[in-house]
Amino acid sequence: MTDEAIPRRYLQVQQRLQEMLDGGEYQPGDKVPSERDLAVTLGVSRMTVRRAVDALVELGLLERDSTAGTRVSTPRVRRLLNHAHLHSITQMVAATGGRAGGRLLEFQLGAAAGRVAEKLRLPVGSPVVVIRRLRLVDDLPFCLETSYLSARRVPGLAAQDLVDGSSLYQLLADRYGIAAAVGESVISVSSATGPEAQALGLQPQQAVLLYRSVVLDTAGEPFEYLKSVNHPGLVEFNIGEGRPVPHAGG
């Protein structure tokens, strides 16, 4: 085998293991087969399996225990879609014991296209603030979010307000008096684009959890349209029965 073939084989094994995890064959907390057994099953060397497993541990999909072996990681972020008080991701990460963080990737003033205008109940072409952020838990990227805000609702909002990972919803409440309430939300399974996969540490076309929401204020007026691409191994959505589904962004 050539030197160039070795990295390709390790990536193939990593992708096969990720497919096993994505396919529901193993649930969070389940112990996965030993490196020796995986090497036999997949027809590769233990060194190749170890390198693939190391990569999945680094991505947060697997975790090693010195006594119990390697297990499927439990989700680091539980996005509560029915909670009356925990509205923002920053709050939810803190509530489940994680350390929230974020990177501002884009902040610009744009024009509302058809879908965005419809969701925000604006005329097409109306000014909107576009905010794109990579959200982190314990320094691991777990979702890529794009928010569209009606510009007339947030005069003076600037990129500097969000560069330190501050909660957008807390800022909206404190500065603009916009209190988030329930909204219309949809969760589906999608495939990560190249940039999305790179940002989240996934393989291109790997399955992701796509969350889209129109966020309303307490007066029932929409102020944000949110698209959130979530890491399937680090995020789970918790939806209660028989109750309205609020947003889970900010």
Tens-digit pLDDT profile for residues 171-208: 999 999 998 887 788 889 999 999 999 999 888 888 89
How would CATH label the architecture of 77-238?
3-Layer(aba) Sandwich (3.40)
pTM over 0.75: no
How would CATH label the architecture of 4-72?
Orthogonal Bundle (1.10)
Cβ burial 13-32 (10 Å sphere, 16+ → b, else e): bbeebbebbbeeebeeeeeb
Instruction: Write down the pLDDT at residue 125.
Output: 96
Pick the residue with more confidence: 223 or 237? Answer: 223
* Domain range list for the chain: 4-72, 77-238
Q: Mean pLDDT score of the chain, rounded to an integer?
A: 83
Cα separation, 72 vs 145, whole angstroms: 25
